[in-house]
């Protein structure tokens, strides 16, 4: 039990660095390049929304996501990564005459959810590698 707690503590010590790298990778995957899930104009709109939400005292979009490492099932993953907070464009968010339609808002929120889940998977890969390097079975 002490070894499990120590492994969890050590993994949590690395979590911020893994998240930082995973955010870069997920952002690159979804928001840049020829295969981007959004147009450059839509990406700029997301950046604008992030800025406006941040100015109003909200968390914004980028970096509002949060993750945790928890004890998982020993047969699958002794340590599991969970996303504890996903960024979201609130229903009441408005840009005056250029507000998003509800379908546009839902589409962007779905994309933000996918972005966070991709980050979670990348961090899970790092955790699995960490567990393997620590000599723990991860089956």
- What is the secondary structure of 54-108 as a DSSP string? HHTTS--STT--EEEEEE--TTT-SEEEEEEE-----TT---GGGPPPHHHHHHH
What is the structure's pLDDT at 134? 74
pLDDT confidence bin for 138, thresholds 50/70/90 = very low
Instruction: Place 139 in a pLDDT band, splitting at 50, 70 and 90.
Output: very low
Q: Grade residue 63 by pLDDT with cuts at 50, 70 and 90.
A: confident
85 φ/ψ angles, rounded to the nearest 5 degrees? -150, 125
93: which residues sit within 8 A by CB, 6+ positions away?
Answer: 49, 52, 53, 99, 100, 105
33: DSSP letter: S
Tokens of 55: 């100015």
In sequence order, the 6+-apart residues with CB closer than 8 A to the CB of 131 are 7, 11, 77, 78, 79, 138
Tokens 């009441």 correspond to 92
Sequence ranges of the domains in the chain: 1-135
Q: What is the pLDDT of residue 76?
A: 66
Res 4 pLDDT > 50 = yes
**Maximum alpha-carbon separation in the chain:** 58
Residues 78-88 as b or e (16 or more Cβ within 10 Å = b)? bbbbebeebbb
Q: Is the pTM of this model over 0.85?
A: yes
């Amino acid at each position: 039990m002490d070894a499990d707690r120590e492994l969890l503590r050590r993994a949590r010590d690395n979590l911020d660095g893994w998240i930082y790298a995973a955010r870069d990778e997920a952002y690159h995957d979804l928001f840049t390049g020829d295969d981007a899930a959004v147009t450059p104009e839509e990406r700029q709109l997301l950046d604008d929304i992030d800025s406006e939400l941040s100015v109003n005292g909200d968390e914004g979009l980028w970096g509002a996501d949060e993750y945790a490492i928890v004890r998982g099932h020993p047969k699958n993953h002794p340590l599991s990564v969970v996303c504890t907070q996903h960024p979201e464009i609130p229903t009441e968010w408005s840009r005056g005459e250029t507000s998003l339609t509800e379908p546009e808002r839902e589409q962007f929120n779905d994309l933000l959810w996918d972005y966070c889940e991709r980050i979670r998977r990348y961090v899970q890969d790092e955790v699995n590698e960490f567990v393997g390097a620590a000599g723990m079975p991860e089956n």
